[in-house]
Amino acid sequence: MRLLLGMLFALVLSISSHAQDSPYRKELKRADLTGTNMEVITSINEVLPGQASALHIHHGEESFYVVEGGMIELPDGKQVPFPTGTTGINRRDMPHGAFKVVGDKAVKYLSVHIVDKGAPLYDKPK
């Protein structure tokens, strides 16, 4: 019984810690990148007003396209538009993502990660 409870507790912790990584990311597809030890992960992300994206890195590259733009607030308090149609690439191990969505519109973007297979998708900057 203790073993079963321990396994259940570990499962709940792993699910909740994954959810904390990015509560707004819905993974659409994951596949191996042919001929490498990397994988491609395609996701749709929707950050609601008041939600924040923590500063993080990826063990690979991330490309994104803003499907529905809005206003974001940077860590220094400056509010800047994040318009529909914005594209970008976040390089390997480069900290990014520290913003909060402000106003009344969610920000929705498509992301494609090409990352080391088996590594966590998100990690804290060093």
pLDDT tens-digit map of 109-122: 999 999 999 999 98
R_g of the chain computed on alpha carbons:
16
pLDDT of residue 22: 66
Q: Say how far apart CA 52 and CA 70 lie, in whole Å.
A: 13
Q: Say how far apart CA 26 and CA 8 lie, in whole Å.
A: 24
Which residue is it, tokens 């529905």? Answer: 68
**Single-letter amino acid code for the residue at 76:** D
Q: Say how far apart CA 102 and CA 70 lie, in whole Å.
A: 8
Q: pLDDT tens digits for 57-101?
A: 999 999 999 999 999 999 999 999 999 999 999 999 999 999 999
Scored b (16 or more CB within 10 A) or e, 21-47 reads ebebbeeeeeeeeeeeebbbbebebbb
Q: Say how far apart CA 105 and CA 69 lie, in whole Å.
A: 8
Domains of the chain: 25-116 (2.60.120.10)
Q: How confident is the model at residue 23 (pLDDT cuts 50, 70, 90)?
A: confident
What is the phi/psi pair of residue 79, to 5°?
-100, 130
Q: Classify the C-alpha dihedral 126-46-89-14 as positive or negative.
A: positive
